[in-house]
Structure formats: structure tokens, C-alpha cells
Amino acid sequence: MTTLPPNPPAIILVRPQLGMNIGAVARAMLNFGLTDLRLVQPRDGWPNPEAGPSAAGADSVIEQARVFDSLADAIADCSLTLGTAMTTRDMIRRVVSPAGAVAEMQALPSRSAIVFGPERTGLTREDLLHCHALCTIPSNPDFGSLNLAQAVAVLGYAWVIGHEAPPPSAMVNHDGPASQAELAGLIAAFDARLAENGFYNPAPGLEDSARRMLTNIFTRPAFTQAEVQFLRGVVRSLAEPRKPQ
Amino acid sequence: MTTLPPNPPAIILVRPQLGMNIGAVARAMLNFGLTDLRLVQPRDGWPNPEAGPSAAGADSVIEQARVFDSLADAIADCSLTLGTAMTTRDMIRRVVSPAGAVAEMQALPSRSAIVFGPERTGLTREDLLHCHALCTIPSNPDFGSLNLAQAVAVLGYAWVIGHEAPPPSAMVNHDGPASQAELAGLIAAFDARLAENGFYNPAPGLEDSARRMLTNIFTRPAFTQAEVQFLRGVVRSLAEPRKPQ
């Protein structure tokens, strides 16, 4: 009898296209004890009647699925977000195997998330900005594109067998990692002060590019809550008028 | 870059129902470097135009798929046959995990096979008679039935990551294991002699039951080719008239 590990990750589908695939994902999730399905801008809206048949009885997952306007909103309560992608699209991110991803998630007392992109195109560079690391399923170099629900099944299987593996070496972090909402708050604080200070180049497009770089820089390391608070103090301090010495 | 292990197993679908699922299986296979698809009595015949779209480019697997009249025919060249099932259906068989199955297959120089049953019902007891061991994917005890192609994807993933694991302890077998055809020959030899000798009870149904037991007994252990030859000698000897001493 299989024992399901506690505290399973959320499965986040970004701009999923076919309701049938969302149902197949729900089935694969429940097969491996995953129940928290989150949808970001599903193409055909939600609920979608085409999801039911392929869910094949995983109705509870379908019924409890939540819809979000943005990936940032969907991961607000998560402190580890892993994007599934075959390549890093030239970004600086750690790349972990499914087993490595599972080991990290199972060492974490807080909520984690695995993010999957649209069926046809996968996650964009913009989506991956919000991910702390990329999880790549090892596959045929000449035919590597997995069906969405099959990829979820592989990660679900890795989740269930992972707890039998010895615990990985891990950073000791007594504070607990910062949630994505805390990080987003830090980034917004930087952003506000920088905008006030005229940091952003007013040329069209460059402001967005600078904002993406800010998100990218602060999403990469595993900040603790205390570190995020400290950095917010740094922002405040830098933006205050200097006191005479 | 993923390196695909050599000598991948055949994937055998017994009485598959939906062409769409056969295509999805082909895609999952090629994702993980499996190319030898065998179909036993596909419900809607073969080729099946509904397989193409869900194969999503794995056309080579579809085109090279072979059709067999019986599971026994499909596994004739295989020396290790693993049936996927959630329970043993009261049979005496070893049960292996996907990782354990992969370790056994990768330690074997000859061909192995993984057998999947029809979508709705899975493999029957009759099908499982032909399997040396049962492979069970660990899953939610309350929702354990996997979609066919998702189960193939999980075993394909286990196949690809398996070669990174340390080699299992294994029986040293310099002869190489007997193929299923050799075993079938042995069973047929027993069967013929037993029939001649009036061993089988003529009551309806009991003869089939005795034949199933014979298949079951000889499919379970990992006989070498030499052992199979020896046992055929035993059959001949027992059936010969005794010589005066």
C-alpha cells in the first residue's frame, strides 16, 4: 500500500488550451495524491465541460480548481516555484531533475508549486521569470516534447517515490523561506522608489525591460523572510534624505 | 543532454480500445526512447486513423507497430515479461516497482517486454499467466487507476532515469535466460505427454484449468536455456517405457 507524502505541491497550468487536457491533468494529479490545481487564464474559460470526462472520476480536483489572472497571483502563497521547461531560454536559473525538485519540495514545510505552460508553446521567458528553478524531465533529445498530462503524471510519480529517497543535503533555514507575495512586495517597493527617483529610462520598452530584470534578480535566490524584511529596510533607507552626520 | 539507455523493452498493449490512446502511447514511448510497440488484438483493428493525431509526431512508432493474435505470440522473443497491474489477482508472482523493473531489464542483454491491459479493465488473470512478474506503479490507494498513456510515460521516465541508479544485485546467469518461446516449447512438451498419459481430467473446464496451472508454474521462475533443455529431457525420460535394469 502506497503512502502518499504530506504537503503536496500545487500544480499550476498557465494558459491551458484544451479542457480535455485539464481533465487529464486532474486525473494524473489525484493518481499521485496531488489535489491543488490552479489555472492561469485558461483559454476557454472555467469551468469547462470538456474537462469532466478525461478527469475520469477526479471530480474533486476539478471542482476545487482555482482560476487566477496572472502567474504572480497564482504563486503568491508559494515559497518555491518550479517551472517545467526543456531549455532555460538563456536565463540564469538552476535546473533540477524531477527527483531533485521533489527532494527540495519535500524538505520544505511551506507550499511549493510546479508550473506548466500551454500545450503548444510551453512557458514563456516572462512566465519563467517567476520561477525559482527550472525542472526538466529527462527525455529523448530528438523527441522531447511531452503531452501535458503525461508530464504531470511523471512529476506525480516522482513526488510519490521521492519520499523513499534519502533526504538531500539542504540549506538550514530556521526562518522559513519567504513567500512569493513577500518577494513581490519587496520588488514593488524597489520599483516604486526607483520610479520616484527617475531611475527608469523613459524610452518606450526600456522601463518594462528594467522591471523584468528586477523580478528576475530577486526571484533567483532563496531569500528568507528576514532577508526580505532587511532588503525592504535597505530600500527605505536609500530613498530617505541623508541625515547630517 | 539525456543519454537514452540501450536495448529498450517492447511495449505491448493487450486488446487496446481507443486509437487515440494508442497514439498517445506511441508519443510517450518515443519521448523516452522506446520504439517497439506491439498490439495484441486491438479492438478497432490496425492501422487505426485515430492514432495519428495523438501520436503528435511519433509516426515512426505507429508505422513500425506490429499486431499479434495472442500475448503468447507477442512475447515469443522476450526473456523477461512484466505485466502492469494494481493487484496480483491472487496469483503467485513477484511484484516489482517501476525502478526495480527497470533495473532488471537493464541488467538483461536480451529483449524484455512491459505489458499493459485494456483501458477499462486492465490485464486479466489469463494475461498475467504469461508475465514473469507484476510491475505496480505506486499511486493513491483511493484513486489508483492510471490513464494508459500516462502509465507508459511513467515507466518510460523510470526507464530513462534508471540507468543512473547503481546496478542491482542480480543472479549471475552465464547461459542467458530462456526466451518465452523456449518456455512455451517446454510447456507444450509437458502438455503433450500429459495428454497422452490421460493426466487431464476429462470433466469440462478442468483440462483448461490444469493447462493454466502448467503455464503458471513454468512462467514464474527465471529458467535458463540449459534448465529448459534439461526439463524437456526429463519429460521425454518420464514418458519413455522403463528399461529393464
Cβ B177 vs Cβ B222: under 8 Å? yes
Q: Do B2 and A138 touch (CB under 8 A)?
A: yes
Higher pLDDT, B198 or B52: B52
b/e A88-125 (16+ beta carbons within 10 angstroms → b): beeeebeebebbbbbbbbbebeebbbbbbbbbeebbee
Q: How many CB atoms lie within 10 A of CB A164?
A: 11
Residues in chain A with pLDDT values less than 50: 166-172, 174, 244-245
| Residues contacting B120, CB < 8 A, separation 6+ | B17
pLDDT score at B102: 93
Task: Tell me which chain A residues have a C-beta less than 8 angstroms from the C-beta of B32.
Answer: 139-140
Cell numbers standing for residue A82? 518550479
Task: Measure the CA–CA gap between B214 and B219, rounded to whole angstroms.
Answer: 9
Cα dihedral across residues B104, B107, B113, B119: positive or negative: positive
Closest alpha carbon to A147 in B25, B128, B10: B25
List, for residues B94-144, the tens digit of each pLDDT value: 888 899 899 989 988 889 999 999 999 999 988 988 888 889 999 999 999
Q: Do B139 and A160 touch (CB under 8 A)?
A: yes
Q: Is B109 on the interface with A (CB under 8 A)?
A: no
Q: How many CB atoms lie within 10 A of CB A225?
A: 16
What residue spans define the domains of chain B? 10-162, 180-239
SS3 content of chain A, % helix, strand, coil (to 5): 40, 10, 45
A208-to-A201, B87, B199 alpha-carbon distances in Å: 10, 56, 85
b/e A59-78 (16+ beta carbons within 10 angstroms → b): eebbeebeebeebbebbeeb
pLDDT score at B142: 93
Residue B163 has pLDDT above 90, yes or no: no
Q: Residue A178's Cα: distance from chain center in Å?
A: 14
pLDDT score at B164: 52
Nearest to A2 among B28, B56, B138 (CB): B138
Nearest to B2 among A28, A141, A160 (CB): A141
List, for residues B44-60, the tens digit of each pLDDT value: 999 999 999 999 999 99
Task: Measure the CA–CA gap between A140 and A143, rounded to whole angstroms.
Answer: 5
Report the chain B residue with the minimal C-alpha distance to residue A59.
Answer: B143
Residue B172 has pLDDT above 50, yes or no: no
Task: Measure the CA–CA gap between A179 and B223, rounded to whole angstroms.
Answer: 57
Q: Considering only residues 47 to 66 of chain B, which have any Cβ-Cβ distance to chain A shorter than 8 Å? A: 56-58
The CATH superfamily holding the domain A10-162 is SPOUT methyltransferase, trefoil knot domain (3.40.1280.10)
Task: Tell me which chain A residues have a C-beta less than 8 angstroms from the C-beta of B153.
Answer: 146-147, 150-151, 153-154
Task: Return the SS3 of B38.
Answer: strand
Q: Do B154 and A149 touch (CB under 8 A)?
A: no
Cβ A157 vs Cβ B48: under 8 Å? no
pLDDT score at B203: 62
Q: Do B139 and A27 touch (CB under 8 A)?
A: no
Q: How many CB atoms lie within 10 A of CB B68?
A: 17
Task: Tell me which chain A residues have a C-beta less than 8 angstroms from the C-beta of B147.
Answer: 24, 27-28, 56, 149, 153
pLDDT score at B135: 92
Average pLDDT, chain B: 84
Q: Do B140 and A2 touch (CB under 8 A)?
A: yes
Q: Is A146 on the interface with B (CB under 8 A)?
A: yes
